[in-house]
Amino acid sequence: MPSTTSSPAPVPDGAGQHPRDLAGLLDLLDPELREEALTHRDWAPRRSRSYERLEFLGDAVLGVIVTTALFSRHPGSSEGELTRMRQRVVSREACARVARACGLPEAMVQAAPTARADDAAAMARRPSVPAALAESVIGAGWIGPGPAATTSAVLGAFSEALDAAPARMLDPKSALQEHVQGAGGTPVRYEITGHDGPPQDRTFHARVTQDDVVLGSGSGRSKQAAEQQAAAAALRVLGRGA
């Protein structure tokens, strides 16, 4: 298995290799790099030999490829709009959907040691593991087959998310609900905490909580507007807002 702690090797150009998705990119990896991309830390010989380092690289690579695609596709969009579109395309939920569609969780189970097969099957059902696998395969593709092959695979695998990004811009409350559901967390609750001003010019204050923890607070001229502002603040705390 190659060590990802050594100096980086020259990056091949991937000429002639245009996989249509992450399953195709996985097929292009040499056996040792493929093994590293599919190895969970729980059965890696040491943590640095698990997929976590490749996941770290793949997260950055995915961001660059998707950002470039959105920048080219939407020349009239503002920085904030592009940021929100990118967040939808590269979200953990989107990565997990792509990983499952490409059979990456099953590939991890098949690659696991026989004694850890049951553990691998259980981990493959966790929300975070498929997303991590998508990013680890992307990272492995970047240092293996190369940027051209990896870009082709990412654009193919995430094509639906890229196409839907501008049309599926959600309001903050809907975006927060989608994020919480995708992460498998408990539902959030909104509470109007007070109001200021006379009836004809009232400002409402709201907060949103999850498991009795305040995620965000906001104010607005209506209860709904205050809740939307609270949701937007929560999304920023969670790293999902512009």
Amino acid 163 reads D
Give the domain range for residue 149: 22-164
What value does the mean pLDDT take over residues 92-96? 91
CATH of the domain at 217: 3.30.160.20
Each as own residue / partner, the long-range contacts of residues 116-121 (CB below 8 Å, 24 or more positions apart, any chain) are: 116/42, 116/43, 119/42, 119/43, 120/40, 120/43
Distance, C-alpha 229 to centroid of its chain: 24
The strand pair at 203-210 and 189-196 is best described as: antiparallel
**pLDDT value at position 15?**
45
Residue with tokens 């690289």: 57
| 227 vs 47: CA distance, rounded Å | 42
d(CA 193, CA 57): 43
Q: Is residue 131 part of a domain?
A: yes
153 and 95 assigned to the same domain: yes
Does the residue 5 lie in any domain? no
pLDDT per position as a tens digit, 26-61: 999 999 999 999 999 887 777 678 999 999 999 999
Is there a single domain that holds both residue 83 and residue 202? Answer: no
Please say whether the beta carbons of 216 and 207 come within 8 A. Answer: yes
Confidence of residue 198 (pLDDT cuts 50, 70, 90): confident
Q: Hey, which residues are catalytic here?
A: 59, 135
Do the beta carbons of residue 217 and residue 233 sit within 8 Å?
yes
pTM exceeding 0.75: no
**Residue 231 near residue 172, CB atoms below 8 Å:** yes
Q: Name the maximum alpha-carbon separation found in the chain.
A: 70
Give the model confidence (pLDDT) of 123-158 as tens digits: 888 878 999 999 999 999 999 999 999 999 999 999
Question: In a 3-state reduction of DSSP, which class is residue 201?
Answer: helix
Same domain, 51 and 136: yes
Angle between helices 104-111 and 117-124 (to 10 degrees): 160
Give the C-alpha distances (Å, rounded to integers) separating 219 from 58, 203, 205, 229.
38, 7, 4, 6
Same domain flag for 48 and 96: yes
E-strand stretches of 8-142 = none
Within a domain: residue 181?
yes
> Do 121 and 210 share a structural domain?
no
Length of the chain: 242
